[in-house]
Chains A and B, each alone.
Chain A
């Protein structure tokens, strides 16, 4: 039972992260930075 509860909590946490705009803004900026770096090369 406890294991099922932990799995549910983890899944819920992951879902919270993936629907959080605070996560996606840094991800997009990171990708843009990598693109700029490839241009610098």
Chain B
């Protein structure tokens, strides 16, 4: 009896330990995502140089497209992407749909930044975490059998975030340019709803076992296609082309913004995979704090404003961060994770995906019989071509004539690189990026 029970206990302990490691990895990924997503919005400040929001968004998405193909090719190779798609081809539809949602939300954020400023717009569109919690509960069994303590953490955190967002919305009426603050608030909130809903495809893909690196490569067809359609539809092809040519000195900076966004988004995908969307989104929404740091320290956004506006923005942001913390530390219990697995099995049955593959990928490992990922010459060519495009535009780039504080910018960049190194190492050691 004892000898039979011992290996069973040992296996259960290993599973519990693995589960705890993956949860911690998800939390670390969420915070790293926040830092990089926050930094990515800084280049959109170039909107003040007279380029239309549509052109800015399109150029950023072109940078995003290049990054979403070259980074996965560099990390795992495109053979791994093909293998994932063969197992769950239906997820291509969700990836493209999520990409379309991202493109529309991103365009709305450009309007929001222009009308109410980065430091105000950020927390408003970060209300997407509330929606993410709702969708996670409704569709993917998140927070089911989570216990009162975790429910209090998540709901209490969400409530505190709402109070913080309200404070910031009130401050925006004094912050934004006359006649546009209301429109800016709607644009930011609309972006929040679109991004909050975008996490439905994310979670669906990861419950079914798809690798985040595979998902983003199809996601990007949706975002580039939708963004191109919006830009051409709203501006017209000839005027858009003229504008892109005129903007070539800042194309590099905007594409770089898109590239930085992709790095943040990749970590966000791993957070959504390992801690679910109800916790992963609030964690990555710590980008609000990073955006605030960039806005205030590097771009001097609140310079010269009244002290009450300053207090509202800082107080509202701190409240939102407090809420984010409460949500983040209400990690999923064993019972809740069992409910996640039930949701995964449901998806597998519905779309005919092998159960062992779904289980292995949820556990951050390769399925039995799965070939080890390898890179071919085509992957290296893809990486080289993307790098060449960036280099060409870098040679045309000029530093925009804006008042920037370079000291704080250097410190923030150093912090980003440290987080990137730590989180990449942790992901590699624990999951080999599966």
Contacts and interface: CB of A to CB of B under 8 A. Distances in A.
Interface of A: 9, 13, 16-17, 20-23, 25-27, 29-30, 32-34, 36-37, 40-41
Interface of B: 89-90, 93-94, 97-98, 100-101, 104-105, 107-108, 111, 135, 139, 183, 186-187, 190, 193-194, 197-198, 200-201, 204, 230, 234, 350-352
Contact of B97 (A9, A16, A26, A37): A26
A23 B94 contact: yes
B193 A23 contact: no
B193 A29 contact: yes
B230 A26 contact: no
Contacts of B90: 13, 16-17
Of listed A17, A29, A41, residue having the most chain B CB within 10 A: A29
B98 A17 contact: no
B101 A26 contact: yes
A25 B234 contact: no
Contacts of A40: 108, 111, 183, 186-187
A16 B350 contact: yes
B101 A16 contact: no
Contacts, number: 66
B139 A22 contact: yes
A21 to B, nearest CB: 8
A41 B197 contact: no
Contacts of A36: 108, 186-187, 190
Contacts of B108: 33, 36-37, 40
8 contacts: A16-B90, A22-B200, A26-B198, A27-B97, A30-B101, A36-B187, A37-B104, A37-B108
A37 B351 contact: no
B139 A30 contact: no
Contacts of A29: 101, 193-194, 197
A36 B190 CA distance: 7
A33 B187 contact: no
A5 B193 CA distance: 40
Contacts of B197: 25-26, 29-30
B200 A33 contact: no
Task: Name the residue among A9, A36, A40 with the largest chain B CB count within 10 angstroms.
Answer: A40
Given A13-B90, A16-B90, A41-B234, A22 B183 contact: no
A37 B93 contact: no
Nearest to B183: A40
Given A29-B193, A30-B104, A37-B230, A17 B200 contact: no
A30 B187 contact: no
Contacts of B98: 26
A17 B352 CA distance: 12
Nearest to A38: B234
A7 B343 CA distance: 27
Nearest to B229: A34
Contacts of B101: 26, 29-30, 33
A27 to B, nearest CB: 7
Nearest to B53: A40
A8 to B, nearest CB: 12
B182 to A, nearest CB: 11
Question: Which of A9, A27, A36, A41 counts the most chain B CB atoms within 10 A?
Answer: A36
A9 B135 CA distance: 29
Given A13-B351, A33-B190, A33-B194, A26 B107 contact: no
A17 to B, nearest CB: 6
